[in-house]
Amino acid sequence: MVRKMSLDRGLAVLALLLCLPLGCSEPGKGLSENVDEDGGGGSEGEGEGEGEGEGHTPDLGRPDLGEEGTVGFGEACTGNRDCASGFCVHGASGDVCTRVCAEEDCPVGWSCKGVSNFGEDLTFLCAPLAPTLCEPCRTDSDCGFLAADLCLVIGGDKRCGRDCADGRPCPAFYECKEVEAPGGGTAKQCLPLNGHCGCSLDEVGKTRACVRENDFGTCRGVETCDADEGWINCTAAIPRAEECDGIDNDCDDRVDEDLDGTPCEIRNAFGVCPGRLKCNGLEGRKCEGTEPALEVCDGLDNDCNGDIDDGLCFDGNPCTRDVCDAELGCSFPPFAGPCDDGSVCTRNDRCVDGSCTGETVSCDDNNPCTDDRCDPVGGCQHVNNSAPCETGNLCTADVCEGGECRRGGAVNCDDGNPCTDDGCEPASGCKHTGADGRICDDDDPCTTQSACGGGECVATAHFCTSQCPCPIYTCLPVFGLPVCTCLCF
């Protein structure tokens, strides 16, 4: 049943909101969404309409707008006054004149909807269907003011469908199909026959611009509308890093740019010379530079080995320059500067007067049990020895063994002197104390008695004293026997 709607505040707000999708430049423009699928219904007002029965169409009288307009149904208008019907609504490409309707007597592409902008009753007008079919969307609200138009996945993209319940017709190249509604259940929507919104059946065979882009650039081409697959066969190349092939690989309208100058090598039997790559289009890149050649006496490094005229004049001395002169022949002038004498036993080698000399490397490891030496190739070497050494106790005979000083037996402190007492102190070593007064033998046949004194064996009695009456005498050993010569005056 259609109910009258009082112009209380709630209805006024509702009417204002619902007219937004249709445009409300004047009173009376816009369509209410609060209508039933068959064009009836709407929000309940504070009072019931009298004399209204099921299917009753309310008074659709034209609003009092003054002089009648002359613009016909479906034609462009700027306001209600332009239209012969007195109703101007928003269409797909601008405002158009419409007319009152009863149930579904509107032409294809229009739907009979109730509008609350005129008086207390709903006014039913032919409203253009929302122009959003197959347009991109995110939610159902993006698909126009018809609440039954859904946002669906069509051909892999989210696109707007159009409600086709109760036999509402679909546009050409579309069909009414049952789909799953987002809120559950099913709904009938107009969908493209070929399953793609990108190109419809009336565009099959047509072409349009297309692009392929990535980090290397953007390439442009054209693609064709296919009845089954949509827009296909984009002729744009896939952008890629620029190559030396005479083609604009990255589609920046420049061919083979920024490819010259990369270092390269020119090789042949004589050596390797440095060069730079240069792009020659379809011929590819070529390494350009000096070709290695046989070394000749010309002051140039012909074979690019870093040496000028090498091998032509060579004296083997690192402290002379090997100079080759085509007229004067070879010369070897000395030069001062760093050099290498080939021995690791020297350091800070420098050329002096044509000779390479350096400072001798010290190999002393401060170990008395190793013999230190330096090998020109192997460097410092330390060979174990068995030399005497000292552990700190001077009363032991220490000796080197396995590169270490090991304690040996007691030191022999006997000095062979009968007139000393021999001993040893660990800190000072052997000591010899005099034994004065000790009887000793001085091994002299001419003495008959000897005693120690001052660390020496001293004669205390002479053989000739008892043999000569004279105070002066001499004694000479003959065959081990004393012979006295007495001198008497």
Residue ranges per structural domain of the chain? 1-128, 203-232, 293-361, 445-487
Ranking 68-72, 83-87, 131-135, 151-155 by mean pLDDT, the lowest is 131-135
What does the block give as tokens for 195?
A: 């399953």
pLDDT of residue 147: 60
Q: What is the pLDDT of residue 37?
A: 35
Of all residues in the chain, the percent with pLDDT exceeding 90 is 34
Residues 353-411: pLDDT tens digits? 999 999 999 999 999 999 999 999 999 999 999 999 988 899 999 999 999 999 988 99
Which pLDDT score, from 0 to 100, does residue 305 have?
92
pLDDT at 308 over 50: yes
Q: Which residues, listed in sequence order, are joined to residue 482 by a DSSP beta bridge?
A: 477
The contacts of residue 275 (CB under 8 Å, 6+ apart) are 263, 264, 265, 266, 287, 288, 289, 290
Please provide the distance, in angstroms rounded to a whole number, between the alpha carbons at the two ends of the chain. Answer: 192
CA distance 211 to 197: 19
* Residue whose tokens read 């409300």: 24
126 and 98 Cβ atoms separated by less than 8 Å: yes
Cα–Cα distance measured from residue 423 to residue 159, given in angstroms and rounded to the nearest whole number: 119
Question: Is 303 or 54 the better-scoring residue by pLDDT?
Answer: 303
List of residues 6+ apart from 330 with CB closer than 8 A: 312, 313, 322, 323, 324
Q: Alpha-carbon distance 194 to 202, whole Å? A: 11
Cα 444 from Cα 463, distance rounded (Å) = 10
| Contact between 323 and 315 (Cβ < 8 Å) | no
Least confident of 233-242, 322-331, 452-461: 322-331
Amino acid at 59: D
pLDDT tier at 119, thresholds 50, 70, 90:
low
Q: What is the pLDDT of residues 56-103, one digit of tens each?
A: 333 334 444 445 689 999 899 988 899 999 988 766 566 789 999 987
The pair of structure tokens assigned to 141 is 């609200």
Q: What does each C-alpha distance from 219 to 160, 214, 215, 253 come to in angstroms?
A: 30, 9, 11, 10
pLDDT value of residue 371 = 96
Overall average pLDDT of the 217-227 stretch: 90
- Sign of the alpha-carbon dihedral angle for 79, 82, 87, 92: negative
Residues 6+ apart with CB under 8 A from 428: 394
Q: How far apart are CA 336 and CA 215, in angstroms?
A: 57
CA atoms of 430 and 410, how far apart (whole Å): 11
Helices (H) and strands (E) in the chain, counts: 1, 30
Residue 334: what are its φ and ψ, rounded to 5°? -75, 160
Q: What's the rounded mean pLDDT across residues 420-430?
A: 91
